Each structure stands twice: as structure tokens, then as C-alpha cells.
């Protein structure tokens, strides 16, 4: 059954982007961004234009294969007029020069994307915030590699998803160049700008150093646990960024997670969130949903990782967490299906916890000797790829002789919460 896209105004299925080269010049004091984006495009069908997603910037020039072309830009869509039909399978180079004040994209969950901080900026784009700072084909299944060049005032530290390639200083500004060679969805692309101190996979304001280092001290143990349970860590590195502002929730990006200063208390009071965001590097960043209805494949596994960490670190076992949350969910409305919650409920707490309960029930049904090898095979077979609920159900079934269809039918597609 074909599902209605959750965000029909985003993304164009007629083409894909294989690489983004983003050259950004950002002025912190005025929240001003000037940029040149170069996109390597490949058509999937014959086209005479390309529709890119881009926020309310001033677009000064658009070129196709080095030749200036007409464009129209309205309502968050930048239409690039190609001038003639380009057949399916055609490689096209698109350059977009633009400038303005980046601001978050409106969504059912508030503004998402580029966010001006009290002294710096961050990007947290899930699910549709990428157009707040660069022209893109904003579909989670259209993964690409990235080169990011960021120039800003020298007192600021810059981090992106990519590995640092080069850094140069001229006058009062510093230019940073980063490269991301594994494919990444647009919503996971990120830039962090602030007065950060770096060390041990952390970026944080110096004044919060003692608390941050304490609260994130067991991140290495989490990494070892999750690598055992989920398979090898899928990326070359990982950094947890703590912004010197309060954020409603932490959020993951590829190779990064972003926390607010309110998520560090010096007592590891938010350690479950540290585990949750780290687990997203497997579930969400390496294995990325193709359609937003499958969000449980991200959040269910990340929420279950919290329970696995609790179990391994001397806290409640996963079974106790499951019983407690099952009881809580029975007291909540039974008015959505986990495998298709609807765009307004993507980040509903029930998606997270019912998703975790589904993973736990699957573990119980299969037994640990079959369940964890199944998960490791899932992350290996789909490394840096696109995943769906149907593909996961079929994959799990191949790893056990027990029929799983009744379990998936009840937990993923039934509205009423099944018995645990």
C-alpha cells in the first residue's frame, strides 16, 4: 500500500544528488550567511527543470554545468530551468549563489534547522530543516557525500559532520574545510559554531567543562556495549556538542549529537539521553528511513538502547523498563499505529516507548542467541543505506523459525497496545 508522503512540499523524486559542496561565510554578530552551493545531480527520469528546497534567501545566480540559467524561487522551492530536456541518467552540475539571514523551517514541531544562539549557531534539522541553510533535495532517502567550507570569525570553533581537511586564518576570520565521504541524508547535515573547547570526543563551553566531562565520561563504555550489541560503529568519529544555550531536546546529526547546557548537571542525570543519541549513529544515521512513517526504526531502537545501557551499567534491566513503560502506555490514548503515526506524531513519546517495547518483544520472542546476531546483520547489511519496516520484518524472520508476523501485526499496525 502506497503511503501519503508526510512532507509533500519537500524533495523531488525525479533526481538524486550524489555530492554537495557547500562554501559558507557566516557572520555571527548579525546572523548573516553568504554561500555558494555546488550540487552533483543525476536525473532519474527525463526533466526540463529541477526543484530544490531552499529557505527565504536572496538567490543571486544559478548555473548549470557552468552556464547561467533562469530560476524561480518562491514558497521554499528553487526551480532551476534547464532549457532543454535532460534524459534519465544525466549527470548535471548545479551552482547556487545565495545570501541572507538563515532561520528555522516551520514544522509541526516548531522551527527546525539553522538556529541562532546567544553566541554562535547550531543546526538541528530533523525532519525538514535542511533548506534553512542550503539548497537541497530534501528527502531522507537521497543520501550524498559532502564537502563543507565554513568561514567565520576566528574566536569561534566550527564543527560539521565531516572530518577536518584544512584550516587557514586570514585577518580576523578562519576558514575550515571538512569532508564527509560516507553518504548522508540532508536532515543529518549540520554545522556547529561556538566558543567551544575540544577533547575526548566532546565540544563544550570551557566554564561547563567539569560537569560535561563527568556526565559524558561513560560514553566510551556505551560505545563498547553498543558495538557488541549492534555491530561496529559505522563512522570514523563521533563528537557530542554541548551548546551554551538551553535546548528543548538533544538531537543527533551524522557523527555528531547536540545537547543544551540544561542537559548537563554534573550528576549524570541525563545519561540516558547520551546513550540514546549515540545509538542513533547506527539507527537513523547509518541506517536511515526511506519514508518518515518508519520513524520507529530510529527512535524505537535508540530508546531501547537506553534500556540496554541501564541493564549493563547497574540500573534497571530492560525487562523492568519494559514493564514500567508498558503500564504508562496503557494509560495513554490508543489512537495511532506505530508504523504510520502521522506527521504530527513523529516525535510523540509513544513512538519512542512503543517502539522500544516492540524491539523488546522481538528480543523475547527470538531469544538473545538469535536476536542480537539478527540486529548486527541488519546494521551490516544496510550500512549507510535506506531501510523500511517491511525490509526489517523480512530480515528478522530470516533469523528465526518462529512466525513473527503476528507480533509485527499487533505491535506495528494495531492501534490497541498489545499485552506485554
3-state secondary structure of 147: strand
3-state secondary structure of 407: helix
- Beta carbons of 384 and 282 less than 8 angstroms apart: no
pLDDT reported for residue 5 = 87
Domain with CATH 2.60.40.1730 in the chain: 15-194
Rounded to 5°, the CA angle 356-358-362 comes to 115
pLDDT reported for residue 1 = 43
The grid coordinates of residue 164 equal 577536518
pLDDT in tens, 263-317: 999 999 999 999 999 999 999 999 999 999 999 999 999 999 999 999 999 999 9
Domain 15-194 in CATH: superfamily? Answer: tricorn interacting facor f3 domain (2.60.40.1730)
Domain with CATH 3.30.2010.30 in the chain: 196-271
pLDDT in tens, 328-364: 999 999 999 999 999 999 999 999 999 999 999 999 9
- CATH number of the domain located at residue range(s) 196-271 in this protein: 3.30.2010.30
Kind plus residue range of the DSSP H or E element containing 326 = helix 318-330
Place of cell 528553487: 78
Whole-model pTM: value is 0.97
pLDDT reported for residue 180 = 97
Q: Does domain 288-413 have CATH number 1.10.3720.10?
A: no
Low-confidence ranges of the chain (pLDDT < 50): 1
As a whole number of angstroms, the distance between CA 352 and CA 45 comes to 37
pLDDT reported for residue 3 = 61
The verdict on whether omega for the bond into residue 127 sits within 30 degrees of 0, i.e. cis, is yes
pLDDT reported for residue 300 = 98
As a whole number of angstroms, the distance between CA 282 and CA 386 comes to 12
Amino acid at each position: 500500500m502506497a503511503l501519503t508522503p508526510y512532507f509533500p512540499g519537500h524533495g523531488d523524486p525525479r533526481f538524486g544528488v550524489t555530492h554537495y559542496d557547500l562554501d559558507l561565510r557566516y557572520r555571527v554578530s548579525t546572523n548573516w550567511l553568504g554561500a555558494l552551493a555546488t550540487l552533483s545531480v543525476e536525473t532519474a527520469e527525463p526533466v526540463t527543470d529541477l526543484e530544490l528546497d531552499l529557505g527565504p534567501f536572496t538567490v543571486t545566480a544559478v548555473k548549470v554545468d557552468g552556464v547561467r540559467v533562469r530560476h524561480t524561487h518562491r514558497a521554499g522551492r528553487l526551480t532551476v530551468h534547464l532549457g532543454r530536456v535532460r534524459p534519465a541518467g544525466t549527470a548535471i552540475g548545479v551552482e547556487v549563489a545565495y545570501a541572507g539571514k538563515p532561520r528555522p523551517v516551520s514544522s509541526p514541531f516548531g522551527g527546525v534547522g539553522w538556529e541562532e544562539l546567544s553566541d554562535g549557531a547550531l543546526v538541528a534539522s530533523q525532519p525538514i530543516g535542511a533548506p534553512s541553510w542550503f539548497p537541497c533535495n530534501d528527502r531522507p532517502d537521497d543520501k550524498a557525500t559532502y564537502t563543507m567550507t565554513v568561514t567565520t570569525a576566528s574566536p569561534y570553533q566550527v564543527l560539521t559532520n565531516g572530518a577536518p581537511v584544512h584550516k587557514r586564518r586570514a585577518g580576523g576570520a578562519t576558514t575550515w574545510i571538512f569532508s564527509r565521504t560516507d553518504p548522508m541524508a540532508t536532515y543529518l547535515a549540520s554545522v556547529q559554531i561556538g566558543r567551544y573547547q575540544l577533547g575526548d570526543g566532546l565540544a563544550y563551553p570551557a566554564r561547563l567543562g567539569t560537569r560535561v566531562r563527568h556526565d559524558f565520561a561513560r560514553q566510551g563504555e556505551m560505545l563498547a556495549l553498543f558495538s557488541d550489541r549492534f555491530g561496529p560503529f559505522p563512522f570514523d568519529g563521533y563528537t557530542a556538542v554541548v551548546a551554551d544555550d538551553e535546548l528543548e531536546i538533544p538531537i543527533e546529526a551524522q557523527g555528531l549529537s547536540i545537547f543544551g547546557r540544561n542537559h548537563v548537571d554534573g550528576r549524570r542525570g541525563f545519561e540516558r539521553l547520551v546513550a540514546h543519541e549515540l545509538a542513533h549513529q547506527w539507527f537513523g544515521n547509518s541506517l536511515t528511513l526511506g519514508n518518515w512513517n518508519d520513524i520507529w526504526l530510529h527512535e524505537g531502537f535508540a530508546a531501547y538502547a537506553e534500556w540496554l545501557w541501564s541493564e549493563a551499567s547497574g540500573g534497571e534491566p530492560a525487562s523492568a523498563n519494559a514493564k514500567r513503560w508498558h503500564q504508562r502506555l496503557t494509560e495513554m490514548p490508543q489512537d495511532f499505529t506505530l508504523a504510520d503515526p502521522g506527521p504530527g506524531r513523529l516525535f510523540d513519546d509513544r513512538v519512542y516507548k512503543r517502539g522500544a517495547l516492540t524491539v523488546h518483544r522481538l528480543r523475547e520472542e527470538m531469544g538473545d542467541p538469535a536476536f542480537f546476531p539478527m540486529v548486527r546483520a541488519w546494521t551490516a547489511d544496510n550500512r549507510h543505506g535506506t531501510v523500511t519496516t517491511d525490509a526489517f520484518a523480512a530480515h528478522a524472520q530470516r533469523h528465526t523459525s518462529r512466525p513473527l508476523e503476528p507480533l509485527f501485526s499487533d505491535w506495528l499496525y494495531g492501534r490497541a497496545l498489545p499485552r506485554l
